[in-house]
């Protein structure tokens, strides 16, 4: 009996030890699986974060690209353009226009002529357009005053146009201390007439520096005196040799005269004359009438006396202090049958002369001064 009990005890202990071993194995196995699961989770998290970083980087690049496109679209600026002036006929009126044209065939209207009682806002013809160095701005002249022009600027970025200053636009300075500024010829009235200086001007019309100083006192000459003017005029007359031509039954040998003034000239010497455009400022709107007079030699103190209708008091407009070897085209208006412009000037002989223009007269207008 004791042997049987001993065997049962030994069997029970064996079974108990076997069960404990099995449990330990299961625990160890579960621990290993848990550790492997945690390690796998960490690896997956790392891969997810890397992928997220890549996606964020791509999103950032796309966002920047879209921002650049939006900025370019919002400003509407493309520097690959050429400037082109056009004339649009609207009934009896002409409208002068300035376009930017692009290689794809598209174009953009920048400015066009407009009427305004303020001479700084009026745009007549559009002359000598040129771009800024970065091409974001365009400058041009328009002839609104008798003795000088108005210089305007168009800005591509803001899509606006404004008056800058009076004068003649020479160029945009391309290098040196005043690179990027405008080189402008300024007409300056002196005690004995006028002289022209070249100045650097910014986009607000501020004169930054005098580039070329022609003030008489700095030159030490006496060209401002009356004798100096006569000598200068004689020299002007000798600079160009004009071809003789037959007008009706009269042969004109220009070299036989100190000056010849010819109304509505269409002769053979047109290409030898400088082209000048002027506006009769008495009239602010059309319909416009255009006439010209050619000056062979030199005349001074040139004015327009405008009578808008019969019996009206003439209005005097100063046209120029001196005109030499030029064909002058005047834009005016003859609203009534008796409207007329009278060009007055002083000849090289010191005498006063007149030449009349209207819609009624078709006679040949010619003044010869020996």
Residues 364 and 314 in one domain: yes
> Is 166 found in the same domain as 118?
yes
Q: Is 69 domain-assigned?
A: no
Neighbours of 256 (CB within 10 A): 10
- The CA distance from 86 to 96, in Å, is 6
Q: Is residue 113 part of a domain?
A: yes
Give the lowest-confidence range in 14-18, 133-137, 361-365. 14-18
Residues 92 and 201 in one domain: yes
Task: Tell me how far apart the terminal alpha carbons of the chain are, to the nearest angstrom.
Answer: 171
- Provide the strand spans (E) within 213-358: 245-247, 250-252, 259-263, 274-279, 289-307, 315-332, 340-346, 352-358
In a domain, 246, yes or no: yes
Domain boundary among 156, 190, 219: 219
Residue 55 Cα distances to 42, 44, 59, 70, 253, angstroms: 20, 16, 6, 22, 87
> Kind of pairing, strands 366-369 and 259-263?
antiparallel
Q: How confident is the model at residue 16 (pLDDT cuts 50, 70, 90)?
A: low
Residue 321 and residue 201 in one domain: no
112 in a structural domain:
yes
What is the dihedral angle through the alpha carbons of 158, 161, 167, 172, rounded to the nearest 10 degrees? Answer: 30
Residues 242, 344: one domain?
yes
28 within a domain of the structure (yes/no): no
Q: pLDDT tens, 227-251?
A: 334 434 444 444 578 899 987 778 8
Note the pLDDT tens digit of each residue in 251-303.
888 888 999 999 989 889 998 898 888 777 677 677 888 999 999 999 988 88
Domain of residue 105 covers: 81-219
Same domain for 202 and 87: yes
Q: Is residue 308 part of a domain?
A: yes
Residue 30 lies in a domain: no
Do 249 and 136 have their domain in common?
A: no
Tell me the average pLDDT of the chain: 76
Do 245 and 351 have their domain in common? yes
Domain count, the chain: 2
Sign of CA dihedral 278, 279, 280, 281: negative
Q: What Rg value do the Cα atoms of the chain yield, rounded?
A: 43
Domain co-membership, 215 together with 94: yes
Domain harbouring 98, CATH code: 2.130.10.120
- In a domain, residue 315? The reply is yes
Q: What is the pTM of this model?
A: 0.45
């Amino acid at each position: 009996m004791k042997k049987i009990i001993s065997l049962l005890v030994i069997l029970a202990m064996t079974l108990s030890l076997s069960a404990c071993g099995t449990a330990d194995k299961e625990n160890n196995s579960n621990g290993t699986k848990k550790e492997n699961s945690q390690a796998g989770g960490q690896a997956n998290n790392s891969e997810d974060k890397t992928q997220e970083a890549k996606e964020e980087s791509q999103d950032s690049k796309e966002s920047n690209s879209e921002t650049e496109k939006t900025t370019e679209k919002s400003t509407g600026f493309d520097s690959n353009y050429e400037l082109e002036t056009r004339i649009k006929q609207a009934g009896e009126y002409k409208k002068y226009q300035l376009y930017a044209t692009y290689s794809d065939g598209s174009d953009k209207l920048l400015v066009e002529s407009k009427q305004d009682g303020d001479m700084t806002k009026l745009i007549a013809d559009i002359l000598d357009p040129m771009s800024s160095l970065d091409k974001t701005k365009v400058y041009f002249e328009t002839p609104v005053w008798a003795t000088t022009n108005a210089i305007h600027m168009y800005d591509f970025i803001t899509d606006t146009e404004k008056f800058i200053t009076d004068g003649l636009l020479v160029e945009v300075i391309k290098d040196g201390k005043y690179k990027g500024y405008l080189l402008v010829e300024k007409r300056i009235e002196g005690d004995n007439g006028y002289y022209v200086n070249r100045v650097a001007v910014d986009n607000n019309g501020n004169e930054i520096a005098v580039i070329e100083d022609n003030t008489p006192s700095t030159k030490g000459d006496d060209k401002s005196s009356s004798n100096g003017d006569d000598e200068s005029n004689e020299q002007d007359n000798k600079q160009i040799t004009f071809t003789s031509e037959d007008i009706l039954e009269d042969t004109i040998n220009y070299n036989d005269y100190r000056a010849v003034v010819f109304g509505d000239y269409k002769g053979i010497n047109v290409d030898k004359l400088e082209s000048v455009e002027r506006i009769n400022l008495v009239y602010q709107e059309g319909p416009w009438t255009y006439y010209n007079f050619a000056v062979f030699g030199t005349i001074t103190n040139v004015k327009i006396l405008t009578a808008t209708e019969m019996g009206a008091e003439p209005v005097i407009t100063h046209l120029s202090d001196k005109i030499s070897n030029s064909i002058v085209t005047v834009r005016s208006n003859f609203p009534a049958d008796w409207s007329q412009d009278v060009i007055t000037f002083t000849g090289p002989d010191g005498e006063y002369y007149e030449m009349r223009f209207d819609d009624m007269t078709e006679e040949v207008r010619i003044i010869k001064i020996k």
